Amino acid sequence: MFDVFKRPAVRLEVPRLKPRRAPDQALRVNLAELTPELVPYLGQAAYIQLAIFEALARALMLAPSVGAKEALGPASGLALEKHERLVAELRRLVDDPAVVMAPFAPAIDAYAAVVRGVDWYESLTSVYLTAGILDDFFILLAAGLAGDVGPKAARIVDSATGREIIETLLADAIAEDDTLGSRLALWGRRLVGDTLLVARSAIHHSGNVRTDEQRIEPVFTELIAKHSRRMDGLGLTA
Amino acid sequence: MFDVFKRPAVRLEVPRLKPRRAPDQALRVNLAELTPELVPYLGQAAYIQLAIFEALARALMLAPSVGAKEALGPASGLALEKHERLVAELRRLVDDPAVVMAPFAPAIDAYAAVVRGVDWYESLTSVYLTAGILDDFFILLAAGLAGDVGPKAARIVDSATGREIIETLLADAIAEDDTLGSRLALWGRRLVGDTLLVARSAIHHSGNVRTDEQRIEPVFTELIAKHSRRMDGLGLTA
C-alpha cells in the first residue's frame, strides 16, 4: 500500500573518504573576496548559533521520550556555548554585542520559523541539516577575516556540536517507519534553499555581480555536497 | 483610569537580612524522616532541572529583544548543567538514568504546562518563582539522604543559577507598566499551589499522616516565606 513512498533501493554513490582539505582551501580563496567585516561576521555567526540552540532546545522539548530528551541535552549545551564564545569575541570589540546581533535577528527569526517543522521528526531533521550547512559555511567564510580572530572564530564554529546523536535518533525512527523516511527526505530537500539564502546574506558583495557569482557557486556546490552526505547518513535520498 | 490595578504603595515588610541557617537546620531535621531513597530523589531532581532548563529556553525564545535573549542564555546553560551533573550522579548508581527519570515525567510535564504562562512576562515570572521554590525544597530534602551523595546533590541544586538577571528584566518591565505588575502578582500567587504539589510528590510518607503533616507544615511555611521574598524582590505583592 505504501510502496509509492518507499525509498529507492539504490542510493546515490557518495564518495565519503575523499580528502576534504584541498577543495576547502580553494573555496576559502574564493570566499576571501566576499568576506564581511569582522564585527558583523561575529554578530551574525553568534545569532545563528543562538537560533541553533533554540532549535535544539525545541527538539528537546518535543522529544517523545525521556531518553530522547536526555540525548539532546549535550547538543543544546554545546550550541549555547558556541554562541557565548562568539559573543565573548564580540565583547572584546564592542560594548554591547546585542546591538551588533539585532540587525540579523528579523531575517534569522523568520528563517527559523520556516524551517521549524511540524513535529519532532521534522524539527530534529531540520536542526541537524540546517546547522550542518550553516556551520560549514561560516567556517569557510572565517578564512577571509582579518587578524587572529578569523581562525579563532572558525575554531569556535567548528568545535564539537554533539549533533551526531541526532543521526542515531533519526535513523532508528526512519528504520521503523518507511513513510517517515520519504516525508523527511522531502523535508530535507526543502530546507536547502532557505538555508543557502541565509548563507548568501552573510556575503559582502564586491559590486561585480558576475565575479561574485563565480566565486559563490563552487562554495554552494560544496555546501550542497556535504548536505547530501548528511542526508545519506540519515538514510534519506538527497 | 488604571488606578484599580495599581499596587498598594505600602509593601509587606519582609526581613531580608534574617539569618537563614538556624531555621533551615530545624527544617532539615523535620524532613529527614520524609526523605525518599537516593535514586528516585536524584531522578526527580534531575528531571525537574531539565524542566527548568526547558522553561528558561522557552523564555529565551519568547524574549522581545536580542538583549533579553542574551541575558537568559547563561541561566539556561546553568540549568542544563545542573541537570547533567545530577544525571552523572545517577549514572554512578544505575545503567540508564532515563529509566529512573521516566516515572516522574508525566506529572512534571503536566505541571510545566500549567505554569507555562501565556506570554514572555508570565513565562519569565514563572520560571523564576517556581524554580526558586523547587530548588529550595530539593536542597532541604537532600539533607536526609544517606551517604556522601546527599550533600553533593544539595550542592549541585544549590549551585549558581544565573537567574538574578530575571529580577532585573521583570522589575524593568513592571516599572514601565502598572497593569503588568498586578497581572504578574496574581500569576505569582497562582503558581504556589501547583509547585508545592510537586514538592509534596517527592516526599516519602511514613504511614503516620498526622506526624508527616506536622513535619511538612513548617517546611512549606518556610518555602512560602522565601517565595514571598522573591515576589517582593520583583516588586510584586505576595
Pick A195 or B23 by higher pLDDT.
A195
Would residue B5 count as lying in a domain?
A: no
Name the minimum distance, in Å, from the CA of B102 to any CA of chain A.
Answer: 6
B contact test, residue of A44, A56, A70, A83 with most B CBs within 10 A: A70
Show the CA angle centred on residue B110, arms to residues B39 and B223, nearest 5°: 65
Q: Which of B70, B72, B100 is the best substitution to test chain A (most A C-beta atoms within 10 A)?
A: B70
Question: Looking at the domain assignment, is residue A71 inside a domain?
Answer: yes
Residue B127's pLDDT band (boundaries 50, 70, 90)? very high
When divided into structural domains, chain A yields a total of 1
The alpha carbons of chain B give a radius of gyration, in whole angstroms, of 18
Q: What pLDDT does residue B237 have?
A: 79
Nearest to B60 by CA among B116, B120, B12: B120
Residue A180: predicted pLDDT = 96
* A139 part of a folded domain: yes
- Kindly determine whether residue B101 and residue A70, on different chains, have CB atoms separated by under 8 Å: yes
User: E strands, chain A, where?
Assistant: none
Given CB atoms, is B40 within the 8 Å cutoff of chain A?
Answer: no
Select the residue of B57, B67, B83 nearest A57 (Cβ to Cβ): B57
Q: Is the pLDDT of residue B8 over 50?
A: no
Report the CATH number at residue B162.
1.20.1260.10
Mean pLDDT of chain B: 88
Alpha helices in B63-203 (DSSP H): 66-91, 97-101, 105-114, 120-142, 149-157, 164-176, 178-201
In a domain, B238, yes or no: no
> Is residue B163 in some structural domain?
yes
Would you state the pLDDT for residue A189? 96
Question: Is A11 part of any domain?
Answer: no
Are A58 and A118 contacting, i.e. CB atoms less than 8 angstroms apart?
no
Please give the DSSP secondary-structure letter assigned to residue A5: G
Lowest mean pLDDT among A15-29, A163-177, B65-79, B125-139: A15-29
pLDDT band at A210 (very low <50, low <70, confident <90, very high): confident
Interface test with B, best of A54, A56, A66, A165 (most B CBs within 10 A): A66
State which residue of chain B sits closest to A104, comparing Cα positions.
Answer: B66
Cβ distance B204 to B37 under 8 Å? yes
Query: Once rounded to an integer, what is the mean pLDDT over residues B43-61?
Result: 97
Task: State which amino acid sits at residue A77.
Answer: G
Is residue A3 included in any domain, yes or no?
Answer: no
Query: Does the residue A12 lie in any domain?
Result: no
Burial track B176-208 (b if 16+ CB lie within 10 A, e otherwise): eeeebbbbbbebbbebbeebbebbeebbeeeee
- Shortest Cα–Cα distance, A216 to chain B (Å): 30
What are B18-48's pLDDT values in tens digits?
A: 444 556 677 777 777 788 999 999 999 999 9
Give the residue numbers spanning the domain of B210.
21-233
Rounding to the nearest 10 degrees, give the CA dihedral for residues A120, A113, B112, B223: 140
User: What is the predicted ipTM?
Assistant: 0.84
CA angle A238, A121, A20 (to 5 degrees): 40
Query: CA-nearest residue of chain A to B62?
Result: A54
- Cα torsion through B172, B175, B176, B182, rounded to 10: 120
